Amino acid sequence: MKHTYILLIVLNVCMNVGYACDICGCGIGGNYTGLLPQFNKRIVGIRYQQRALVTHLGPNGESSYLTTQETMRSIEYWGAWQTGNRSRLLVAVPWQFQQSKTIDTKIHNNSIGDLSAIWQWNLFQSRQSDRQRVRIQQWWLGAGIKLPTGKWNKQSLQPTGTGSTDFLFNMVYDHRLQDAGISASLQYRINTANALNYRYGNRFTGTVQYYYKFRPLPSVSLAPNMGMIVEYGGQDQENGWRKESTGGYTIYFAPGLETVLKKIAIGAGLQLPVGQNNARGTIREGSRWMVHTSVLL
């Protein structure tokens, strides 16, 4: 099996679901991005992710009595199965650990998140070689669904889902020349209204990453990588009315390292915000990080 690295949007669309309140970010971002090894038939794994942000900031970003420190942690079980010569199915089931902390209160909420599944089709793939270099290109298109298996209600400060059935679309392109490569991906999520007629704004994520693969040992492959991630969310709606202090964007610098030890993949990544404007400045995103391991079957 060739441990060629490609960029996947493997879905964790509920990792950063927002809050159905007037001045919160309401689901901005939250898509997992990372470099994972190509697999022939199946891959199963587990990953831990953590995100921090500050909500309920004042008009100029200053803290107040209502300012809240938010911490979102997620343990996600996921798998991918090849369903044909040019297609594969990816499924993710997250378990959420949410925490909100103000000056005098602390709230915890732990439960299953929203299950998601996406089917990807290999639209284009080529491999060209000469005596010195190998050039590989891949282009994947995907469509899927996110189901409302997490908890959501209007009063909850720490929901673990959006309460809605949402539709997912993505595109992944990878171009590798010998051991160096560039991957680009786009993902768009169309949200629907939940049972209480609250509709989160649609979400867009774009990623570009550069990676370099080398082998310190015959059975070990390392792939350090770095890139940029742009996340944008539209404004939420309640009963057809826009929620003013919702939506926005964040730009991240994202370094990482992926390792393959025979059939075991281990990796870690960091996402550092370098620019943002969320909920009209009432939310400030912090850094995010993740670690994962998976088995190539």
The pLDDT of residue 281 = 86
Q: Which domain holds residue 239?
A: 5-296
63 pLDDT band (50/70/90 cuts)?
confident
Q: What is the pTM of this model?
A: 0.86
The pLDDT of residue 41 = 82
Q: Which regions of 9-152 does DSSP assign to beta strands (E)?
A: 34-37, 42-55, 68-84, 87-101, 106-112, 116-129, 134-146
At 195, which CATH number? 2.40.160.40
Once rounded to an integer, what is the mean pLDDT over residues 67-90? 90
In this structure, the dihedral spanned by the alpha carbons of residues 15, 263, 211 and 11, taken in order and rounded to 10 degrees, is: -20
Residue 10: beta bridge partners? none
Give the H/E segment covering residue 172. Answer: strand 166-177
> With 50 as the cut, is the pLDDT of residue 25 above it?
no
Amino acid type, 26: C
* Weakest-pLDDT range from 53-57, 74-78, 123-127, 291-295: 53-57
Residues 257-284: tens digit of each pLDDT? 999 898 899 999 999 999 999 988 888 9
Cβ pair 31, 187 in contact under 8 A: yes
Question: What string of H, E and C letters represents the secondary structure of 77-97?
Answer: EEEEEEEECCEEEEEEEEEEE
Whole-angstrom distance, CA of residue 180 vs CA of residue 3: 13
Tally of domains in the chain: 1
38 by Cβ neighbours in 10 Å (0-12 / 13-18 / 19+) ranks as middle
Residues 127-155: tens digit of each pLDDT? 888 777 899 999 999 999 999 998 887 66
> With 70 as the cut, is the pLDDT of residue 52 above it?
yes
156 pLDDT band (50/70/90 cuts)?
low
39 pLDDT band (50/70/90 cuts)?
low
Q: What mean pLDDT, rounded, does the chain reach?
A: 83
Whole-angstrom distance, CA of residue 290 vs CA of residue 34: 9
